[in-house]
């Protein structure tokens, strides 16, 4: 999935910045970033081919799926920044003069900053797309569905969580949680402000710097909960907690009913 590739790209950016763009880390990161670029380009190409098969012009796709088109535009712009970063890393790997290396290191810091901005916009776009849908569907009750050993957190939202859930919020590379273990109310999902991040340092002890801080808040109840993660995506399938003989589009049965080895809710 494209979101997972971007998570890996950001992990490489962390390594580059943490090691101050040292020559050895650039040599290590270059082939890994090139591999991720190929994956991202392949996914973009497959998306373009699917649009060609439907015989739709770019304008038609934009009219019918404006949010999807914006998402792909952001991905293409970010991919362009990845190419620029790779070109700079290639020069860095071959550089020998100290003055040239120092100049390249400054440029690499700027390249990574610009790339992070594009990835951040992708994250903001996801939230902007999700929030009005939650309001429209009147979904405010959420609970932690599962958390995997590789840092993925799934929070389910439902109008009636006794029988099904209507949306899954999927957080990638989770670093820190401040959430109830039972059902909680969320009216708004957003990125935490700089002031909030500074305040959270007292309880998160630096973990708030290890990803984006997502705030899940309810103004009615006066509550704010936080998840520190790299990225967020969501799924709007209706997932039933009981067997149904017929399923429509966008409906499925909970995994633990289909596979006895899957953990229960």
Do 155 and 110 lie in one domain? The reply is no
Length of the chain (residues): 265
Report pLDDT for 158.
95
Q: Tell which wins on pLDDT, 52 or 48.
A: 48
**Last residue in a domain, options 91, 114, 133:** 133
Tell me the Cα Rg of the chain: 21
What's the mean per-residue pLDDT of the chain?
Answer: 88
Hey, what are 94's tokens? Answer: 């071959």
Q: Tell which wins on pLDDT, 220 or 49.
A: 220
Question: CA-CA-CA-CA torsion for 20, 26, 28, 31, nearest 10 degrees?
Answer: 140
Q: Tell which wins on pLDDT, 6 or 263.
A: 6
pLDDT greater than 50 at residue 195:
yes
Report pLDDT for 99.
95
Q: Please state the pTM of the whole predicted model.
A: 0.84
- What are 34-46's pLDDT values in tens digits? 999 999 999 888 8
Do 7 and 129 lie in one domain? The reply is yes
Q: What percent of the chain has pLDDT over 70?
A: 89
Domain residues for the domain of 92 are 2-133
Do 73 and 171 lie in one domain? The reply is no
Residue 155 lies in a domain: yes
Nearest of 256, 246, 229, 21 to residue 127 by alpha carbon: 229
pLDDT greater than 90 at residue 29:
yes
Do 20 and 126 lie in one domain? The reply is yes
Residue owning tokens 């900053």: 113
- What are 77-134's pLDDT values in tens digits? 999 999 999 999 999 999 999 999 999 999 999 999 999 999 998 889 999 999 999 9
Rounded CA gap, 161 and 45, in Å?
Answer: 39
Report pLDDT for 67.
45
Arithmetic mean of pLDDT, 146-172: 92
Residue 263 lies in a domain: no
Residue 86 lies in a domain: yes
Residue 225 lies in a domain: yes
For the chain, the domain total comes to 2
71 CB-contact burial (10 Å; exposed 0-12 / middle 13-18 / buried 19+): middle
**Last residue in a domain, options 99, 133, 167:** 133
- Sign of the Cα torsion 144, 206, 130, 61 reads negative
Residue 265 lies in a domain: no
Cβ contacts of residue 33 below 8 Å, gap of 6+?
Answer: 9, 12, 82, 85, 86, 89
Rounded CA gap, 263 and 255, in Å?
Answer: 9
Do 46 and 165 lie in one domain? The reply is no
pLDDT greater than 70 at residue 245:
yes
Residue 37 lies in a domain: yes
Banded pLDDT at 261 (limits 50, 70, 90): low
Do 17 and 91 lie in one domain? The reply is yes
């Amino acid at each position: 999935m494209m979101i997972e590739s971007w998570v890996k790209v950001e992990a490489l950016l962390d390594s580059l910045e943490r090691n101050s763009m040292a020559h050895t880390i650039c040599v290590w990161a270059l082939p890994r970033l090139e591999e991720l670029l190929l994956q991202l380009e392949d996914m973009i190409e497959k998306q373009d081919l699917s649009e060609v098969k439907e015989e739709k012009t770019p304008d038609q796709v934009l009219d019918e799926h404006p949010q999807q088109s914006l998402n792909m535009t952001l991905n293409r712009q970010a991919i362009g920044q990845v190419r620029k970063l790779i070109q700079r890393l290639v020069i860095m790997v071959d550089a020998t003069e100290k003055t040239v290396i120092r100049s390249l290191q400054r440029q690499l810091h700027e390249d990574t900053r610009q790339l992070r901005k594009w990835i951040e916009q992708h994250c903001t776009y996801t939230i902007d797309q999700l929030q009005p849908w939650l309001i429209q569907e009147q979904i405010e009750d959420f609970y932690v569905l599962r958390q995997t050993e590789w840092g993925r957190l799934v929070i389910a939202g439902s109008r009636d969580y006794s029988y099904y859930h209507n949306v899954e919020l999927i957080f990638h590379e989770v670093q820190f949680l401040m959430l109830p273990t039972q059902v909680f109310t969320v009216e708004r999902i957003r990125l935490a402000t700089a002031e909030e991040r500074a305040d959270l340092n007292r309880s998160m002890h630096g973990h708030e710097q290890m990803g984006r801080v997502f705030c899940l808040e309810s103004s009615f109840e006066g509550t704010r909960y936080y998840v520190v993660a790299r990225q967020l995506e969501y799924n709007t399938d209706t997932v039933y907690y009981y067997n149904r003989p017929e399923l429509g589009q966008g409906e499925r049965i909970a995994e633990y009913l289909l596979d006895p080895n899957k953990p229960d809710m």
